Amino acid sequence: MIKNNKCDSCGKKIENGERVTIIIRNVEANTRVKYPNRMHLKLAEKAIEKRAFKAYCEECLNTEDYVCSGIGH
């Protein structure tokens, strides 16, 4: 599925079991779901096979800098 196992930012080799952040491009959002304030994401298997995502090691992209936990915000 992944053509190489390197961070898309720094090029560091990503080791087995290492935690990474993945950004998936061109995902279709379906907001016509049963529950309010929720959505389903649609992604074709072929998009993953063609590596339609970017992989980042924790040093290059720390989600804490971008995503709040929702607690107290």
Prediction pTM value: 0.62
Q: What is the band of 1 on the pLDDT scale with cuts at 50, 70, 90? A: very low
Separation between Cα atoms, residue 43 and residue 71, nearest integer Å: 29
Phi-psi region of 35 (alpha: psi -120 to 50; beta: other; left: phi over 0): beta
pLDDT of residue 41: 84
Separation between Cα atoms, residue 69 and residue 18, nearest integer Å: 22
pLDDT of residue 57: 93
pLDDT in tens, 30-68: 888 888 888 888 877 766 666 678 889 989 987 777 766
